[in-house]
């Protein structure tokens, strides 16, 4: 992003009478809402959260901010050394600025949501489109009311495609984000149990996920899992063009001949039956993510051979079914960014099918936001844990106690362990003492458990 202070002020209708007009010509080269990470030449966005961003203006100025947004109700604290663009609400102004910039750059927009797989799908789509176009994609998990505007404002002026991930934890959130970006293509990867604490049923989760179509352009495309009845039924109310992916012949694109290996999954599709595609991830479920990405590539006329090449080595966001090497030489499957029962069962199934000379060790942490059904859902993972395939199980968190109780009859005491959420250091030490070069260990949990700290403790440093 590169705009003058004057252009920004005009775009968000900010008051600028507190600094000289000559400052309006000053260039701004990006935005930042964390004063610690701000780089010289950027606009500081003071947001209200656990702390008030306005309290960190001195840090932002020290790090090189050339201007700042400023809430009108804090006008008695205006900074004097840099221009302050006075607005009613900095977050709303930030979002308005992102919409202005999106219109200015005018890329095609691909929006993705889903209970699981949206980050992986985003990475796959970005890789496929990058074979031919200039692409910007959501960084890490910047997928909410702050992260999506930030992603937009990170675009270079030559961006042709914006691939944006959208998360949600309440009704209305995707409605706002979809209308903000007005996608050319909207994708729902799947409907699971994530956030069921707030929604109550999968049907209500599906209703909320469908909000991603609310801002879809009239000539846009809605891509969804054609094997999910909840989406098939709701898609009937969407008037734009549609495309489905899945495993059934009635889907527009469906997979055939899926085969797992230790670090990758290969498959064929109906559209190009003579070609074999491969993704550098285990798990049959990840094939569906690839299918939706392939559907996007097909829409924008990416040659099948380029789709094939892009999927083979796409840039996967950290801690999403990522294979790493531990200090003892053990293989580590890190999938610790998020978790829900459907996703956890799929990863367990895939992990149990990987070839190994040693033991398979499963580390599972609490799955959050499952509400009154949480303990039952945690216990249900027992059906996906085969003691003949998984030698040891390490469980973390209060709700995983339900799974611990369910597994007691089938695991020897020395092979089944339970830790509280504040015992990650002990868990790391115990795993380190147990694991050998021939072993494989899988870690899966909601991000709030912070099992990434355990992964960091196990991984061999370069």
Task: Say whether 312 counts as a known binding-site residue.
Answer: no
- Looking from the CA of 447 toward its CB, the CA atoms found within 13 Å total 8
Structure tokens at 172: 């209305």
The CA distance from 173 to 417, in Å, is 39
- Structure-token match 């956030």, residue found: 195
- 326 labelled binding-site residue: no
DSSP assignment, residue 344? Answer: H
Q: Is 115 annotated as a binding residue?
A: yes
Across 270-343, the runs of DSSP E, i.e. the strands, are: 277-279, 322-325, 331-335
Closest residue by Cα to residue 42 from 12, 65, 9, 19: 65
Does the annotation list 114 as a binding residue? yes
Pairing label, strands 331-335, 322-325: antiparallel
The residues, any chain, with a CB within 8 Å of residue 24's CB and separated by 6 or more, are: 4, 5, 6, 9, 16, 83
Answer yes or no: is 256 a known binding residue.
Answer: no
Longest dimension (CA), the chain: 76
Yes or no: say if 68 and 44 are a contact pair by the CB < 8 Å rule: yes
Sheet holding 440-444, edge to edge: 322-325, 331-335, 440-444, 360-365, 392-396, 416-419
What is the four-CA torsion angle of 154, 160, 165, 168, rounded to 10 degrees?
A: 90
354 marked as binding residue? no
Distance between CA atoms of residues 61 and 81, nearest Å:
8
Dihedral of the alpha carbons of 118, 175, 192, 297, in degrees to the nearest 10: -30
Question: Which residues are annotated as part of the binding site for ATP?
Answer: 114-120
Question: Which residues are annotated as part of the binding site?
Answer: 114-120
């Amino acid at each position: 992003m590169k705009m003058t202070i004057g252009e920004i002020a005009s775009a968000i209708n900010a008051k600028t009478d507190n600094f000289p007009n000559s400052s309006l010509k000053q260039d701004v080269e990006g935005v930042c809402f964390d004063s610690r990470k701000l780089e010289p030449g950027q606009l500081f966005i003071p947001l209200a959260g656990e702390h008030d961003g306005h309290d960190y203006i001195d840090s932002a100025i020290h790090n090189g901010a050339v201007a700042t947004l400023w809430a009108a109700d804090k006008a008695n604290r205006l900074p004097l050394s840099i221009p302050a663009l006075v607005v009613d609400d900095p977050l709303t102004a930030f979002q308005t600025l992102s919409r202005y910039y999106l219109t200015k750059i005018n890329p095609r927009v691909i929006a993705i949501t889903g209970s699981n797989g949206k980050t992986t799908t985003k990475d796959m789509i970005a890789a496929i489109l990058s074979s031919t176009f200039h692409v910007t994609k959501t960084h890490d998990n910047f997928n909410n009311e702050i992260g999506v505007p930030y992603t937009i404002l990170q675009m270079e002026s030559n961006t042709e495609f914006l691939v944006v991930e959208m998360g949600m934890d309440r009704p209305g959130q995707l409605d706002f984000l979809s209308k903000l970006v007005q996608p050319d293509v909207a994708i729902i990867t799947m409907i699971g149990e994530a956030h069921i604490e707030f929604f109550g049923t999968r049907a209500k989760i599906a209703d909320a996920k469908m909000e991603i179509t609310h801002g879809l352009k009239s000539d846009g495309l809605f891509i969804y899992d054609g094997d999910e009845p909840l989406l098939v039924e709701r898609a009937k109310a969407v008037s734009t063009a549609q495309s489905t992916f899945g495993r059934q012949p009635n889907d527009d694109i469906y997979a055939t001949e899926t085969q797992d290996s230790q670090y990758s999954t290969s498959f064929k599709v109906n559209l190009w039956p003579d070609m074999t595609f491969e993704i550098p991830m285990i798990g049959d479920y990840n094939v569906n993510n690839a299918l939706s990405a392939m559907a996007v590539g097909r829409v924008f006329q990416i040659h099948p051979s380029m789709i094939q090449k892009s999927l083979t080595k796409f840039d996967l966001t950290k801690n999403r079914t990522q294979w790493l090497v531990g200090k003892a030489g053990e293989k580590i499957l890190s999938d610790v960014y998020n978790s829900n029962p459907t996703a956890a069962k799929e990863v367990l199934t895939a992990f149990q099918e990987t070839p190994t000379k040693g033991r398979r060790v499963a580390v599972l942490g609490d799955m959050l936001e499952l509400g009154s059904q949480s303990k039952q859902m945690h216990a249900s993972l027992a059906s996906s844990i085969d003691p003949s395939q998984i030698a040891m199980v390490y469980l973390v968190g209060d709700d995983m106690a339900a799974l611990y109780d369910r597994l007691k009859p089938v695991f020897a005491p020395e092979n089944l362990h339970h830790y509280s959420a504040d015992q990650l250091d002990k868990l790391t030490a115990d795993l380190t003492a147990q694991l050998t070069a021939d072993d494989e260990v899988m870690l899966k949990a909601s991000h709030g458990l912070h099992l990434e700290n355990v992964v960091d403790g196990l991984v061999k440093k370069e």
